[in-house]
């Protein structure tokens, strides 16, 4: 896989596929972590005299322009972080994109409108996707892939476009791949994994893979209740994927056979209703034993005893991978479990990786200094698929 060092970029238009898929509230960016992560590669190119054309997706528009998913607020924030104006093209490959790219001076940056405003970006038809990639290729001389959060997608700007231009990996992708290799090959032990989030079905494949690598696996979030049900416990009105109980029972048996320690909550913080995340008003939480959640209550966070247990299980780990919050961290009544895990990673002397997505958002929302962690990934889904052992289209395209 080539890097930017292998490209001659001065005076040339460089198409940078970044991942600027940030959460928006109206036109307000609520977490700019992915934009900040893209800045070093962009700045390195501009410092070398490149004319940088940045592109990204945002959200899930239906292949047509939708103002709710415009990248215009991102262009403004990117300009603030770079300390220079970022030209914004109001389309992806139309007249605005062509004139904006053609008008760039050395060392300057432009951002195209949301790639997913064009149906060709995500099309499953190779010809339609390829046609869009051809149009994107006409905007630049070179390609740099730096959107790690999208490399597990076979999309035009990620998979097809690199085949049409001389290409290299940006600094962010190089860093992400290096970190993930440390979690899959020659892992320093003890190796502890913390998995949370809403649905166990989202994590089945990675659990199966980690059962061959990890020394202990800690489970939290909504997915914990399917595990508790698999052990025969009642979970009240908690989130439950009943159809996944047999698979989870199989994983628990496999873990026992292989000597992998599976750690589940011993207590939970519950409430009658899911909290209002807009007002964040009191939710009347109660702490219950994890095996005694009655009908009418739902678990929304790991409890204080579980938080202490998990911190202890992480204290001696030489390597820690964490993906998924322990509860509804967006509400103060159900944030302490996630906070406890984050604090345990900060205090760890081992190599700690926060696996992107909601976990990365939680770290920032709860006010942790990102430098306290070994690495915070920009790609939750991509990280998980890499750990599953899948070949990721966007990485494969850069290796060719």
Structural tokens at position 234: 């009642």
Rounded Cα gap, residues 108 and 16, in angstroms: 13
The single residue of 12, 13, 34, 51 carrying the catalytic annotation is 34
pLDDT at residue 279 in the model = 86
Rounded Cα gap, residues 233 and 258, in angstroms: 24
Catalytic residue status for 36: no
Q: What's the CA dihedral at 70, 72, 75, 80 to 10 degrees? A: -130
Residues in the chain: 400
pLDDT at residue 157 in the model = 98
Q: How do residues 329-351 score in pLDDT, each as one tens digit?
A: 999 999 999 999 999 999 999 99
The single residue of 147, 170, 381, 394 carrying the catalytic annotation is 381
Query: Annotated binding site, which residues?
Result: 19-21, 34, 57-60, 116, 153, 203, 299, 330, 356-359
Mean residue pLDDT across the chain: 95
Domain 4-174 and domain 187-387, same fold? Reply is: yes
Query: Annotated binding site for (2R)-3-phosphoglycerate, which residues?
Result: 34, 116, 153
Catalytic residue status for 381: yes
Locus of tokens 């997915």: 223
Query: Annotated binding site for substrate, which residues?
Result: 19-21, 34, 57-60, 116, 153
pLDDT at residue 356 in the model = 72
Specify the DSSP element, H or E, that contains 133. Answer: helix 126-137
Catalytic residue status for 357: yes
Catalytic residue status for 178: no
Residues of the chain with pLDDT under 70: 400
Third-level CATH fold of 187-387 = Rossmann fold (3.40.50)
β-strand pairing of 13-17 with 167-169: unpaired
Third-level CATH fold of 4-174 = Rossmann fold (3.40.50)
DSSP 3: B
Domain ranges of the chain: 4-174, 187-387
């Amino acid at each position: 896989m080539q890097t930017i060092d292998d490209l001659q970029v001065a005076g040339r238009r460089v198409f940078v596929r970044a991942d600027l898929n940030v959460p928006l509230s109206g036109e307000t960016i609520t977490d700019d972590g992915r934009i900040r992560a893209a800045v070093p590669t962009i700045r390195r190119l501009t410092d070398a005299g490149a004319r940088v054309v940045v592109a990204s997706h945002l959200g899930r528009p239906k292949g047509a322009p939708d103002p709710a998913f415009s990248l215009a607020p991102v262009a403004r924030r990117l300009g603030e972080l770079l300390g220079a104006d970022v030209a914004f093209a109001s389309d992806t490959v139309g007249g605005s994109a062509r004139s904006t790219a053609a008008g760039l001076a050395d060392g300057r940056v432009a951002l195209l409108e949301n790639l997913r405003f064009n149906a060709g970006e995500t099309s499953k038809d190779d010809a339609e996707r390829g046609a869009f990639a051809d149009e994107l290729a006409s905007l630049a001389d070179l390609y740099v892939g730096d959107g790690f959060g999208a490399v597990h997608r076979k999309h035009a700007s990620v998979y097809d476009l690199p085949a049409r231009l001389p290409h290299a990996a940006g600094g962010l992708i190089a860093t992400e791949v290096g970190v993930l290799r440390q979690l899959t090959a020659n892992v320093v032990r003890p190796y502890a994994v913390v998995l949370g989030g809403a649905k166990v079905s989202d994590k089945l494949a990675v659990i199966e893979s980690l059962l061959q690598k990890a020394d202990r696996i800690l489970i939290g979030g909504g997915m914990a209740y399917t595990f508790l049900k698999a052990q025969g416990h009642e979970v009240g009105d908690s989130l439950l994927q009943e159809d996944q109980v047999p698979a989870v029972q199989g994983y628990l048996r496999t873990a026992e056979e292989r000597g992998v320690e599976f750690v589940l909550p011993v207590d939970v913080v519950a409430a009658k209703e899911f909290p209002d995340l807009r007002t964040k008003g009191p939710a009347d939480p109660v702490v219950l034993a994890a095996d005694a959640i009655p009908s009418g209550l739902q678990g929304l966070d790991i409890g204080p005893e579980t938080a202490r247990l998990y911190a202890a299980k992480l204290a001696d780990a030489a390597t820690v991978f964490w993906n998924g919050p322990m509860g509804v961290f967006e509400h103060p009544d159900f944030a302490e479990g996630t906070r406890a895990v984050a604090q345990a990673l900060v205090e760890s002397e081992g190599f700690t990786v926060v696996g992107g997505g909601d976990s990365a958002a939680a770290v920032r929302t709860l006010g942790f200094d990102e430098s306290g962690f070994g690495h915070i990934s920009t790609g939750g889904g991509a990280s998980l698929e890499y750990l599953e052992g899948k070949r990721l289209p966007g990485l494969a395209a850069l290796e060719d």
